[in-house]
């Protein structure tokens, strides 16, 4: 009969199975930081994290499941749908990301999670058949479902490029200008990016309230600055007017014409209409109802695992936009949650492997904060700094590619992880 020491050695060699549902900022953040920690390195997002390298490597198999075949830089959507030069850059297939070389990827949709048995049913996009995956730890990071064109609906890079090209061409050919309906962050950025990329195109943003970003808990100074910066970018605005109807026809030359009727019965003619209003719906139907609130968001503790009323709650984490937590939904918060989930999972592994006293990370309440790109400038609000704006803010928050390089470098997606 093997000794206790031999049994312990065998247990250490059996790889933990970690299943990450969602391959965007939160999901990749969790997968890559956990890969670092289990390889005996510091987590890539945490320069000041406790050094756990003395415990050596932990055998782990990480699987990422996503409906798309690649990483899409979501916050660059307004630029990707305005610039044919930029669009190809925004989407990279998972198989082409050096950082994911040792992480398994399945393109598919999560259909059901059984937290008692710790297995998930995935509908494989390639085989069209359900696959059951067992796991030791699950990280739910499937984000929110948003309508076109707030986000691309394509599932493959090829179909995304076709979708984007068709949209860009329609914007370019709109002889009567472009009307953007909705004055939230997405509408502002879409209007501004079109005007930046196509300066000769007339762009009009229509918002039903008197101030932009009206649904967000942000100071009026921020909202007013967004409006003035949008005007500086050359975008025309119609405020306090709801669009009652949009009737589309064709000119004698075959060009599309849309006539918008506003709440005061005035009319606006446009060659192309963009609906930048989308009710965000959490993509969480695969989780047990007990895990969700009445809007579909996942109830989590400050350590980002599910609440104790869920079976095996310590083995199940939810992060990113689907997590019921304070603050405006942002990619920075999503990546931050990914790091916390990874480090807390690693601590749980060390408890089992080394018998350590765990040092869990707990997420604080997140106050409202945001940055919005408006052409060559950006407008930002951070509680500590208040409202800031200008080209320097654009450079700090977004660079010249709506944050693509900033996020790519932060996640180290182009860097192959050492074995």
SS (H, E, C) the chain: CCCHHHHHHHHHHCCEEEEEECCCHHHHHHHHHHHHHHCCCCCCCCCCCCCCHHHCCCCEEEEEEECCCEEECHHHHHHHCCCCCCHHHHEEEHHHCHHHCCCEEEEEEEEEEECCCCEEEEEECCCCCEEEEECCEEEECCCEECCCCCCCCCCCHHHHHHHHHHHHHHHHCCCCCEEEECCCHHHHHHHHHHHHHCCCCCEEEEECCCCCCCCCCCCHHHHHHHHHHHHHCCCEEEECCCEEEEEEEECCCCCEEEEEEECCCCEEEECEEEECCCCCEECCCCCCHHHECCCCCECECCCCEECCCCCCHHHEEECHHHECCCCCCCHHHHHHHHHHHHHHHHHHHHHHHHCCCCCCCCCCCCCCCEEEEECCEEEEEECCCEEEEEHHHHHHHCCCCCCHHHHHHHHCCCCCCCC
CA nearest to 251, candidates 170, 174, 306, 161: 174
Q: Does one domain contain both 40 and 112?
A: yes
Domain of residue 122, residue span: 16-146+280-366
Q: Does one domain contain both 268 and 292?
A: no
Average pLDDT value over all residues in the chain = 94
Which pLDDT tens digit goes with each residue over 18-30?
Answer: 999 999 999 999 9
Residue at a domain's end among 223, 245, 272? 272
State the pLDDT confidence band at 54, using cuts at 50, 70 and 90.
confident
Distance of CA 101 to the CA centre of its chain: 22
349 or 56, which is more confident:
349
User: Does residue 50 carry a pLDDT above 80?
Assistant: no
Instruction: Give the tokens for residue 95.
Output: 């198989």
Q: How many CB atoms lie within 10 A of CB 389?
A: 21
Q: Does one domain contain both 137 and 226?
A: no
- The pLDDT > 90 percentage for the chain reads 89
Q: Does one domain contain both 100 and 183?
A: no
Instruction: Give the tokens for residue 339.
Output: 């790091």
Could you tell me if residue 394 is inside a domain? Answer: no
Q: Does one domain contain both 261 and 341?
A: no
Could you tell me if residue 374 is inside a domain? Answer: no
Q: Does one domain contain both 236 and 322?
A: no
Instruction: Give the Cα separation of 381 and 358 in Å (integer).
Output: 36
Q: What is the mean pLDDT of residues 236-249?
A: 96
pTM of the model as a whole: 0.94
372 or 3, which is more confident:
372
The CATH number of whichever domain residue 93 belongs to comes to 3.50.50.60
Q: Does one domain contain both 22 and 138?
A: yes
User: Does residue 236 carry a pLDDT above 50?
Assistant: yes
Longest CA–CA span in the chain (Å) reads: 88
Give me the pLDDT at residue 278, please: 76
Q: Does one domain contain both 268 and 284?
A: no
Give me the pLDDT at residue 7, please: 42
Which pLDDT tens digit goes with each residue over 152-198?
Answer: 999 999 999 999 999 999 999 999 999 999 999 999 999 999 999 99
Between the CA of residue 142 and those of 66, 67, 297, 320, what are the distances in Å? 8, 9, 11, 8
State the pLDDT confidence band at 112, using cuts at 50, 70 and 90.
very high
Give me the pLDDT at residue 46, please: 83
User: Does residue 91 carry a pLDDT above 80?
Assistant: yes
Q: What is the mean pLDDT of residues 72-93?
A: 97
Between the CA of residue 277 and those of 45, 64, 77, 384, what are the distances in Å? 33, 30, 14, 30
CA nearest to 286, candidates 169, 143, 87: 143
For residue 37, give every residue at least 6 positions away whose Cβ sits within 8 Å of its Cβ, in sequence order, or none: 43, 52, 58, 342, 343, 346
State the pLDDT confidence band at 5, using cuts at 50, 70 and 90.
low
State the pLDDT confidence band at 47, using cuts at 50, 70 and 90.
low
Residue at a domain's end among 223, 239, 272? 272
Give me the pLDDT at residue 417, please: 77
Q: What angle do CA 248, 253, 256 make, to 5 degrees?
A: 20
User: Does residue 269 carry a pLDDT above 50?
Assistant: yes
State the pLDDT confidence band at 11, using cuts at 50, 70 and 90.
low
Print burial letters for 309-343: b (CB count within 10 Å at least 16), e (below 16): ebebbbbbbbbbbbbbbebbbbbbbbbbbbbbbbb
Q: Does one domain contain both 267 and 118?
A: no
Instruction: Give the Cα separation of 176 and 206 in Å (integer).
Output: 15
Give me the pLDDT at residue 419, please: 63
Q: Does one domain contain both 241 and 288?
A: no
User: Does residue 87 carry a pLDDT above 80?
Assistant: yes
Give me the pLDDT at residue 48, please: 63
Which pLDDT tens digit goes with each residue over 279-325?
Answer: 899 999 999 999 999 999 999 999 999 999 999 999 999 999 999 99
Q: Which residue has the tokens 């206790």?
A: 4
């Amino acid at each position: 009969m093997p000794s206790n020491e031999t049994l312990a050695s065998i247990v250490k060699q059996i790889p933990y199975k970690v299943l990450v549902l969602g391959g965007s900022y939160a999901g990749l953040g969790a997968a890559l930081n956990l890969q670092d920690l289990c390889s005996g390195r510091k987590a890539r997002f945490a320069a000041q994290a406790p050094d756990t390298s003395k415990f050596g490597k932990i055998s782990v198999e990480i699987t990422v499941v996503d409906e798309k075949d690649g990483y899409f830089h979501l916050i660059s959507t307004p630029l990707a749908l305005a610039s044919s030069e930029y669009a190809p850059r925004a989407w990279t297939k998972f198989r082409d990301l050096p950082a994911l070389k040792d992480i398994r990827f399945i393109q598919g949709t999560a259909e059901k999670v059984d937290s008692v048995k710790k297995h998930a049913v995935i509908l494989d996009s390639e085989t069209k058949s359900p696959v059951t995956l067992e796991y030791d730890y699950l990280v739910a990071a499937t984000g929110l479902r948003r309508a076109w064109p707030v986000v691309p609906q394509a599932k493959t890079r090829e179909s995304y490029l076709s979708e984007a090209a068709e949209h860009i061409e329609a914007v370019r050919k709109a002889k009567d200008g472009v009307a953007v309906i909705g004055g939230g962050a997405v509408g502002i950025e879409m209007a501004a990016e079109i005007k930046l990329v196509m300066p000769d195109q007339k762009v009009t943003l229509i918002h039903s309230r008197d101030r932009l970003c009206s649904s967000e808990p942000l100071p009026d100074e921020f909202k007013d600055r967004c409006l003035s910066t949008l005007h500086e970018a050359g975008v025309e605005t119609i405020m306090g007017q709801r669009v009652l109807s949009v009737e589309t026809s064709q000119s004698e030359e075959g060009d599309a014409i849309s006539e918008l009727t506003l709440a005061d019965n005035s009319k606006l003619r446009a060659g192309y209409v963009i609906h930048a209003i989308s009710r965000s719906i959490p993509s969480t139907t695969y989780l047990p109802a007990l895990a969700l609130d009445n809007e579909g968001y996942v109830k989590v503790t400050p350590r980002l695992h599910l609440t104790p009323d869920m079976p095996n709650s310590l083995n199940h984490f939810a992060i990113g936009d689907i997590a019921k937590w304070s603050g405006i939904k942002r990619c920075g918060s999503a990546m931050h949650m990914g790091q916390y989930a990874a480090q807390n999972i690693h601590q749980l592994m060390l408890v089992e492997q080394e018998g350590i006293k765990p040092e869990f990370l707990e997420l604080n309440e997140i106050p409202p904060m945001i940055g919005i790109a408006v052409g060559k400038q950006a407008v930002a609000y951070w509680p500590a700094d208040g409202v800031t704006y200008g080209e320097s803010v654009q450079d700090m928050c977004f660079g010249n590619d709506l944050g693509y390089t900033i996020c790519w470098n932060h996640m180290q997606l182009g860097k192959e992880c050492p074995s």
